[in-house]
Amino acid sequence: MHFKSVIPTLALAASTYAASSSSSSSDVCSSSVTATSQSDLDAIAGCAVFKGDIILSTGLATATLNGVESIQGSLTATNITTLSSIAAPVLANISDTLTLEILEALTVANFPELTAVENLNLVTINKIDSINFAAGISEIDSLVVSDTSLTTLAGIVPTSLSLLNINNNLYLTTIQFPLKSVDELDISSTANSLDISFPDLTTAHNMTFRDAKTINIANVTSINSTLSYVNTTLSAVDLPKVQNIEGTLAIVSNSQLKNISFPVLQSIGGGFQIANNTNLDNLSGFPVLSSVGGAVDFVGDFDQAILPKLNTVRGGVVVDSDAEDFNCSSWNSLEQNNGIRGDSYQCKAKSSSTSIALTSTKTSAASSSQATGATTTASTSKNVAAAQYVLESTSILGALAVFVLQFV
Ligand SMILES: *[C@@H]1O[C@H](CO)[C@@H](O)[C@H](O)[C@H]1NC(C)=O
Ligand SMILES: *[C@@H]1O[C@H](CO)[C@@H](O)[C@H](O)[C@H]1NC(C)=O
Ligand SMILES: *[C@@H]1O[C@H](CO)[C@@H](O)[C@H](O)[C@H]1NC(C)=O
Ligand SMILES: *[C@@H]1O[C@H](CO)[C@@H](O)[C@H](O)[C@H]1NC(C)=O
Ligand SMILES: *[C@@H]1O[C@H](CO)[C@@H](O)[C@H](O)[C@H]1NC(C)=O
Ligand SMILES: *[C@@H]1O[C@H](CO)[C@@H](O)[C@H](O)[C@H]1NC(C)=O
Ligand SMILES: *[C@@H]1O[C@H](CO)[C@@H](O)[C@H](O)[C@H]1NC(C)=O
Ligand SMILES: *[C@@H]1O[C@H](CO)[C@@H](O)[C@H](O)[C@H]1NC(C)=O
Ligand SMILES: *[C@@H]1O[C@H](CO)[C@@H](O)[C@H](O)[C@H]1NC(C)=O
Ligand SMILES: *[C@@H]1O[C@H](CO)[C@@H](O)[C@H](O)[C@H]1NC(C)=O
């Protein structure tokens, strides 16, 4: 377009420059460059395809990479206090890495034609609102956006990523990508109201969300490692299509969370932790969950935590609620049915008369014999030591369960 007509002139200028500096244009276009002035960049303007790395260096105030359409290598600008503007008007792709890092004066960055880059690192750039990626970078493998003042990631439109790490971007309030799959995802931006939307995402390896107000990943069907929500301001966690989580599911310290819904989740391969979500009353949003490969750890102030289909927990179980209405019945049933394969089971309820602790190593003859006793009425406070727990069991079945637990 506009730029195309400029290229021959630039190419000519560059080859003239190359001739005058007595190196052939193929050398110029295939050896890495460290640019300390604009003329170092002008020297490669004849290289539509540049093979090597282009490193911008101290001394540059503005940098314009004219003429270069393709870099088979990396483009790097790191720790240049003077650099306020960077532009690559015709650059369409970078085979390796584009790094903009520690650029405290950078206010303008223009990459209007860029559509492909293997790794994109935007790190510690605190004066810039947005980067012009007008053509849309759709081919990208790894994206890191850390400690920036960016208010938008418009123009970054990945469909598949092996790494997505977005953290400490105080002004970034929306992250919306047409992402279909991701391996490692870690989002912990500190903006108070971050909306995340990956409506097309179906598969993910490992996802950690911190500090988000809304997250739409409603089309995810499988997670082959861990899913964590920590310290978010989400009011709901709703994953209507996830059937299996092969790793751990952790939902911790989400102060506004009121509703968890995993209507088709059948198995969790790792641990299952729901803790310290101060407004979460109901942990029963797992109607078909039948197995947990690791430990269960539920701590909080919840009235209800009934998982009707749960029949196997391979690790231990801790269920501990401060709420008046909570009782341990359903967990006691699981334990009595030998559904807990780990070496411990504790369920603590505040005002109900139930509190149980068992370990295969610690269960003493004394507690076993208690198990044959009648219903207990121990009303335990939250901080009661494990040794003080008594085993609630109204039937011989309970005692049998203890016996079996000890020898698993
Ligand atoms: C940035 O460069 C300055 C000198 O130019 C140096 O003192 C400083 O350590 C560098 N910072 C980093 C993080 O590399
Ligand atoms: C990189 O961009 C150049 C110039 O537009 C194009 O000819 C080339 O096919 C592109 N290469 C890749 C791998 O996208
Ligand atoms: C799930 O994907 C379908 C098809 O791509 C789309 O129509 C729908 O809006 C997505 N759901 C959500 C909640 O975004
Ligand atoms: C999860 O999926 C990713 C990408 O498909 C794969 O590389 C990885 O090996 C898988 N991990 C597990 C534990 O299945
Ligand atoms: C998941 O990702 C986090 C951070 O991205 C990492 O610390 C953790 O080790 C990963 N876990 C697994 C099981 O891959
Ligand atoms: C939650 O955030 C607070 C304040 O930023 C921090 O002190 C705390 O450690 C975080 N909790 C977790 C579980 O990460
Ligand atoms: C929780 O979310 C599910 C699914 O969105 C919904 O059906 C249910 O009514 C919600 N429950 C509450 C108490 O908001
Ligand atoms: C939950 O909060 C309690 C008390 O603040 C703390 O001791 C515990 O470590 C927290 N649990 C998690 C999983 O963050
Ligand atoms: C808790 O959630 C479950 C499943 O969504 C629902 O059936 C039950 O009525 C809820 N309990 C309360 C006390 O809201
Ligand atoms: C325990 O709580 C459940 C649901 O909240 C309730 O249906 C049940 O009757 C309670 N059991 C006891 C023994 O209080």
The pLDDT tens digits along the chain (408 residues) read 344 443 444 444 444 444 334 445 568 999 999 999 999 999 999 999 999 999 999 999 999 999 999 999 999 999 999 999 999 999 999 999 999 999 999 999 999 999 999 999 999 999 999 999 999 999 999 999 999 999 999 999 999 999 999 999 999 999 999 999 999 999 997 767 899 999 999 999 999 999 899 999 999 999 999 999 999 999 999 999 999 999 999 999 999 999 999 999 999 999 999 999 999 999 999 999 999 999 999 999 999 999 999 999 999 999 999 998 899 999 999 999 999 999 899 999 876 544 455 554 333 322 322 222 222 222 323 222 222 222 332 222 233 233 222 222
Mean pLDDT for all residues in the chain: 83
Spacing, Cα 202 to ligand 3 middle (Å): 10
Cβ neighbour number for residue 150 with a 10 Å cutoff: 21
Query: Quick one: pLDDT at residue 211?
Result: 87
Q: How far is Cα 48 from Cα 38, in angstroms, rounded to an integer?
A: 17
CA-nearest residue, atom 2 of ligand 6:
231
Query: Quick one: pLDDT at residue 27?
Result: 87
Spacing, Cα 270 to ligand 5 middle (Å): 13
Spacing, Cα 306 to ligand 10 middle (Å): 10
Q: Which long-range contacts link 198-202 to residues 24+ away (Cβ below 8 Å)?
A: 200/159
Query: Quick one: pLDDT at residue 356?
Result: 53
Strand pairing report for 344-349 and 355-359: antiparallel
Which CA distances in Å does 88 have to 8, 142, 222, 234?
Answer: 16, 21, 39, 39
Query: Quick one: pLDDT at residue 349?
Result: 87
Is residue 150 helix, strand or coil? coil
| CB of 259 closer than 6 angstroms to any ligand 7 atom | yes
| Look-up of token digits 């407004």 | 279
Which CA distances in Å does 118 have to 92, 144, 403?
Answer: 12, 12, 58
Give start and end residues of each alpha helix (H) in 24-167.
25-30, 38-42
Contact 162, 140 (CB under 8 A): no
CB under 8 Å to 279, separation ≥6 — which residues? Answer: 255, 256, 257, 258
Q: How far is Cα 312 from Cα 297, in angstroms, rounded to an integer?
A: 14
Q: How far is Cα 76 from Cα 33, in angstroms, rounded to an integer?
A: 10
Q: How far is Cα 349 from Cα 342, in angstroms, rounded to an integer?
A: 21
pTM above 0.85, yes or no: no
Tell me the β-bridge partners of 347: 319, 356
Residue 108 CB-half CA count within 13 A: 12
| Look-up of token digits 């409603």 | 218
Query: Quick one: pLDDT at residue 184?
Result: 96
Contact 66, 43 (CB under 8 A): no
User: pLDDT tens-digit profile of 281-340?
Assistant: 999 999 999 999 999 999 999 999 999 999 999 999 999 999 988 999 999 999 999 999
Give CA angle at 41 (36, 45), nearest 5°: 170
Out of 146, 167, 206, give the residue to mutate to test ligand 5, the one with the largest number of ligand atoms within 8 Å of its CB. Answer: 206
Query: Quick one: pLDDT at residue 350?
Result: 76
Q: How far is Cα 234 from Cα 218, in angstroms, rounded to an integer?
A: 14
Give CA angle at 357 (343, 310), nearest 5°: 65
CB under 8 Å to 265, separation ≥6 — which residues? Answer: 239, 242, 243, 244, 245, 286, 288, 289
